[in-house]
């Protein structure tokens, strides 16, 4: 049985979340029904549309589902918070992970800009958005393959930067390791990195920083 962790928000400031992918259909239905009954605002991640369809109909109706980010919310969103985040993605194929980060932040009440298709193969597009990016409190950069956007943007801005490597691509890029290692070895100083495809985690790291910068 899933025991909702009722004081989590007070303790480390993270939203209640359920990672749906590794759970069996039975486990997932039990967890979600508990949370539904408890009336607790909850974010479900890694819940694509076809998985949603396998849930009991009352749960499907209760969930506010977003196919692009493969997330759903119960009793959300949380109250609006001060602070802003820019989620910047290199290519079309990185949208899903970027959308997961954005959905997590919006569920958490944070003003979030999603800025996509600014890969380094066309630098002027990135430069055209720089003012917008610099205006955010925290910047999340989502990039696969060579993850060059992480280093280039990291060298242009002074904001806190959180990199999310993605598993887009094939050959040496297939599992996201090329993007992960490239981000960790970035020549731009002070870039912190999340696990591959972990848009949710990047949003949580941003929430920790926002809580410091804008204490409630």
Kindly tell me which of 54 and 92 has the beta carbon lying closer to a second copy: 92
Nearest distance, CB of residue 61 and a second copy, angstroms:
23
Nearest distance, CB of residue 67 and a second copy, angstroms:
8
CA nearest to 87, candidates 20, 15, 162: 162
Nearest distance, CB of residue 75 and a second copy, angstroms:
19
Kindly tell me which of 22 and 61 has the beta carbon lying closer to a second copy: 22
Nearest distance, CB of residue 21 and a second copy, angstroms:
7
Burial profile 201-214: b = 16 or more Cβ within 10 angstroms, e = fewer: bbbbbbbebbeeee
Contact 122, 148 (CB under 8 A): no
Kindly tell me which of 12 and 38 has the beta carbon lying closer to a second copy: 12
Contact 213, 58 (CB under 8 A): no
Kindly tell me which of 43 and 72 has the beta carbon lying closer to a second copy: 43
**Cβ atoms within 10 Å of 170's Cβ, excluding its own:** 7
Kindly tell me which of 61 and 65 has the beta carbon lying closer to a second copy: 65
Nearest distance, CB of residue 27 and a second copy, angstroms:
6
Taken as a whole, the chain contains a residue count of 216
Cis ω before 77 (30° cut-off from 0): yes
Kindly tell me which of 72 and 202 has the beta carbon lying closer to a second copy: 202
Q: How far is CA 157 from the centre of its chain?
A: 21
Cis ω before 199 (30° cut-off from 0): no
Q: How many helices (H) and strands (E) does the chain have?
A: 10, 9
Q: Which residue has the tokens 């002074």?
A: 158
Nearest distance, CB of residue 191 and a second copy, angstroms:
7
- Element spanning 115, H or E: strand 111-115
């Amino acid at each position: 049985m899933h025991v909702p962790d009722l004081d989590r928000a007070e303790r480390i400031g993270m939203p209640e979340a359920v990672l749906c992918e590794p759970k069996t259909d039975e486990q997932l239905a039990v967890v979600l029904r508990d949370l539904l009954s408890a009336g607790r605002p909850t974010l479900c991640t890694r819940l694509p549309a076809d998985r949603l369809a396998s849930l009991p109909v009352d749960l499907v109706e209760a969930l506010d589902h977003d196919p692009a980010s493969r997330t759903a919310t119960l009793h959300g969103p949380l109250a609006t918070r001060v602070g802003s985040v820019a989620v910047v993605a290199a290519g079309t194929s990185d949208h899903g992970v970027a959308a997961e980060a954005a959905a997590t932040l919006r569920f958490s009440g944070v003003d979030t800009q999603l800025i996509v298709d600014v890969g380094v193969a066309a630098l002027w597009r990135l430069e055209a958005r720089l003012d917008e990016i610099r205006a955010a409190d925290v910047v999340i950069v989502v990039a696969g393959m060579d993850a060059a956007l992480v280093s280039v943007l990291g060298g242009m801005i002074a904001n806190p930067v959180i990199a999310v490597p993605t598993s887009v691509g094939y050959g040496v890029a297939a599992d996201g390791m090329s993007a992960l290692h490239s981000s960790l070895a970035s020549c731009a100083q002070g870039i912190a990195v999340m696990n591959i495809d972990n848009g949710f985690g990047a949003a949580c790291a941003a929430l920790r920083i926002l809580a410091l910068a804008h204490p409630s």
